[in-house]
Structure 1
Amino acid sequence: MTATPMTPGVVPGRLPPDALAANFCDVAPPLDDHEAHVASDRCYFCYDAPCVTACPTGIDIPLFIRQIATGTPDAAGMTILHSNIFGGMCARVCPTENLCEGACVRMEAEGKPVEIGALQRYATDDIVLAEGHPFKRGPATGKRIAVVGAGPAGLSCAHRLAAKGHDVVVYDARPKPGGLNEYGIASYKAVDGFAAAEVDWLLGIGGIELRLGERLGEQITLAQLQADHDAVFLGMGLAGVNALGVAAANQRDAVDFIAALRQSDDLAALPVGRDVVVIGGGMTAVDAAVQARLLGAQNVTIAYRRGQDRMSASAHEQDHAVTSGVRIVTNAAPLAAGPDGVTLGYTADLPDGGMLNTGERVTIPADMILTAIGQRLEGVPHGIALAAGKIAVTGPGRTSVPGVWAGGDCAAGGDDLTVTAVAEGRDAAEDIHAHLMGGAVAPVDAPDMRG
């Protein structure tokens, strides 16, 4: 449900344009040459590097950092992009504190890891933002593959297939490609249209056709795709939004709020409440809460029904929210919502994983309520088996239907991260290629893309 302009207190232009511009500048500015060399010198270049194991795309992190340290950042960028074609965006949005940097030996020894994410951005930005594409297509195979979803999983799959000489058609329901990179992340994490620029760069390899505004189950069907293509990859993400259970006229999906902000050409035209309450405990909740604060909301509260240790938002993101002026209230479940506020019931986490309602309540003023309690899969074609509400897959994304693969947020078993979606799309592409060409599956880091 979308908050209407008539909701009292929800108005645009709470801050002047110069303040908004300052608030939404790059939250983590890029390293300069000196900073990159200092940061790279801290790496031990471990032979059996735990950071590589922690990276879902398996980037050879010690190698690319050594390449930066020896003055060849362009080679470092290519090392990254061979494994992760979305290396630029992942450098900005990955929860590195839980992945590569969390596993860094320096973290164990000193409590401060090598700045792997910042170094990855340093190495990839010049390549991604430059004219031309560094990879070339292999010889044409005559095979044609349909990819549903132009997000990280779908485009990663499409790029790897195009590099192998296949023709790829990517279908997406939205008017722009990019998926969550374009519509779903905080604006201050990827400024100056980087998400769109990265997609344009990726498409520069050729052999990828985009068909936008075409949704599976409406304009296209799985049967049609199977009839017209040699293989199909499903990477459409999670289009549905879970319902809160309590409703009010001033309630809005946090996903829609972030998407509207991401697509806005004038931040001063976006309405935001004076007192904003965000229901949820994940990254979407944090992104929505922080951006509401940056738009000029005076009081922003994240309310989560379980303890803080159960929040799926990383500790780094939680700290960022708090330092941005967001209050986090945990063990508080929404009971009722209205024009004046949200009534929360206090809870307690039980040792067996259950949750107890304590009977205590509190009402928090709210003229705007944003719900971020998870997304769900919609529009699954008949015959595709599900597991835990997502598409069931085996191995590198094989579904229950022969000739159909899946990956990213719509597939079971992942952790709903951009980097995981990229890895799953890439690995599915390798398996699709092997299936179509009758060969063995190549290692995912094989130099199959010609630089």
Structure 2
Amino acid sequence: MAEYKRPTSEAEFKKNFKQKKPLMNSTEAFYESSRCLFCYDAPCVQACPTSIDIPLFIKQIHTDNLTGSSKTIFDSNWLGNACGVVCPTGVLCEGACVYNHQDVPPIQIGRLQNYATNYSIDNNKKLFKPGLDNGKKIAIVGSGPAGISAACELRTLGYEVDIYEAKEKPSGLTVYGIAPYKITNEEVLKEIDYLKNQLGFNIIYNTPIDTTEEINQLESKYDAIFLGVGLGKTATLRLKGEDKLGVIGAVEFIEDLRNKRHKLSMPKNVVVIGGGNTAMDAASECARMGARKTVLAYRRSRESMGAYDFEYDLAISAGVDSLFNAIPVEIIGNVKVEGVKFAKTEVIDGKLVTITNNEFIVKCDMVIKATGQAKQGMFYDLISGLDLDSKTRIVVDKDTFQTTNPKYFAGGDAINGGAEVVNAAYDGKMAARGINQWLNKE
């Protein structure tokens, strides 16, 4: 039985997809900030990929210095508002909070972070300004978290910055590929506009860079280039029947949902294949869109899933059913999807083994593949001297983020194969500093 009714209006959609981390009011923020112990050598800071001074910004909230608090956050993380909402804080800063050892709920660091930064964004507080123009220009390919972070840092250092974005909106997966109950498009775009208005970087939309000629033009026009292209479309499963109508990648499905919202057509029965956080998001979204039955299928056990436990629990609480130790062998149907044929699996001597004499069919009208995204190998091939590792990730210097082609720097999913928004924000900032170091040395 579905937990959610099919939303037929924007109001019903917002109700089904209400925010997991709603914005605090001033009373909540004052009370929550008063709980912080302001630890020396705070473990929450060590757990944050961008090393935000968390005790300081919480103290500033408690003393009603919201402008100072938000500056403390943005000084370390240019996407401090978005990260306060979408970061898996339960396994990062909040997971490291000392209260976890005392059977006391950890400080709600993410929501406090969102509260402070949202204040400065809504009130258009002038926290930053561009550095003195140094006469040099940097191109950034991709306006995802890594690209935006790099652009902000470069502007403070005095560089002119142009971001080339293939789509019509900025922020990459933050606006296209994250479940709407985690963050709204409005909140994502509001932060980008705030940073853009303060620092003055330029975003050129609907401009993919996908030919050698375009690469050559960038190289001749700019002093350095940052690659923040992220990942590509959902990778193929190479299954028989994968080309049938009703088979879609999880990232593509989530993007469609974020754009169409309650107008998205949702079939009655859905199978989501995968065990990562994106699979959990897609399954939860199907349930919230009123699918009568959503089955989350994974080839291994629950304990082996890559998804965080809280993401799985969220999907189950939305009404999703789970199917473990089952691997898809065929998508059945004539023109349209009618079901998925699975085979049972088990682990023998540490290896996953498919039991071919134990197959069964789960009927459905839609199949969502949440089995990873393809790398941008074809794009990387356009750039001479760019080394990739065995997983088609760009090889960079771990300190400067410079690639093996010295004019190029890279960060985010392009170098880590897919991580959190906060990791991309860190990479972009550090790469900008690497660019500055290299150009000054030159």
- The TM-score normalised by the length of structure 1 is 0.89
Moved more, 57-66 or 197-206: 197-206
**Equivalent residue number for residue 447 of structure 1:** none
Q: CA deviation at 1:208?
A: 1.2
Partners of 1:111 and 1:34 lie apart in 2 by 20
Query: Does 1:256 pair with 2:259?
Result: no
Q: 1:417 aligns with which of 412, 417, 420?
A: 420
Counterpart AA for 1:83: S
Deviations 1:195-231 (A, max 9, x none): 1111111111234111122222239633321211111
Q: How does 1:35-46 map to 2 (within 5 A)?
A: 35-46=28-39
Whether 1:279 and 2:276 are equivalent positions in the alignment is: no
Change (3 A) 1:111 1:221: farther
Q: What is aligned with 1:428?
A: 431
Structure 1 counterpart SS, 2:346: strand
Q: CA deviation at 1:341?
A: 1.3
Q: Unaligned stretches of 5+ in structure 2?
A: none
What is the 5 A alignment of 1:11-160? 14-17=6-9, 18-110=11-103, 112-131=105-124, 133-160=126-153
Give the direction of change, closer, same or farther, for the CA distance of 1:40–1:220 in structure 2 (3 Å limit): farther
Tell me: CA distance 1:240–1:256, structure 2 relative to 1, closer, same or farther (3 Å): closer
Q: Which runs of 4+ in 1 moved over 4 A?
A: none
Q: Deviations over 1:372-403 (max 9, x none)?
A: 11012221134311012111111231111012
Equivalent position of 2:354 in the other structure: 357
Q: Select 2:393's aligned residue among 387, 390, 395.
A: 390
Letter in 2 for 1:358: I
How many residues align? The count is: 423
Letter in 2 for 1:370: I
Alpha-carbon distance in structure 2 between the residues aligned to 1:245 and 1:32: 49
Contact between 2:56 and 2:69, CA under 8 Å: does it hold in 1?
A: yes
Q: How far did residue 59 of structure 1 move?
A: 0.5
Which residue identity is paired with 1:399?
A: T
Alpha-carbon displacement from aligned partner over 1:394-443 (angstroms, at most 9, x marks no partner): 1231111012100000114x65110000000000001111222239xxxx
Q: What is the letter of the counterpart of residue 168 of structure 1?
A: V
Equivalent-residue separation in structure 1 for 2:103 and 2:95 (angstroms): 12
Does 2:411 match 1:407?
Answer: yes
Q: 329-338 or 213-222: which moved more?
A: 213-222
Worse-superposed segment, 238-247 or 315-324: 238-247
2: distance between equivalents of 1:198 and 1:328?
Answer: 36
Shift of 1:310: 2.5
Q: Which deviations, in whole Å up to 9, do the C-alpha atoms of 1:11-69 show, x marking residues without a partner?
A: xx943324323112323211222211222222221111111111111101111111122
Change over 3 Å in CA distance of 1:168–1:220 after alignment to 2: farther
**How far apart, CA to CA, are the structure 1 residues paired with 2:265 and 2:124?**
37
Counterparts of 1:240 and 1:309 in 2: how far apart (Å)? Answer: 27
- Pairing of 1:183-262 with structure 2 (within 5 A): 183-191=176-184, 193-218=186-211, 221-246=214-239, 247=242, 248-262=244-258
Deviation at 1:252, TM superposition (A): 1.0
Are residues 419 and 350 of structure 1, via their aligned partners in 2, closer, same or farther at CA, if it must alter by over 3 Å?
A: farther
Whole-angstrom CA distance in 2 between matches of 1:147 and 1:123:
29
Quote the residue 1:371 is aligned against.
369
Alpha-carbon separation, structure 2, partners of 1:71 and 1:350: 59
Identity of aligned residues (%): 38
Counterpart residue identity of residue 51, structure 1: C
Letter in 2 for 1:406: A
Flag the 1:71–1:351 CA change in 2: closer, same or farther, 3 A: farther
Measure, in 2, the Cα distance between the counterparts of 1:110 and 1:103: 13
SS of 1:203's equivalent in the other structure is helix
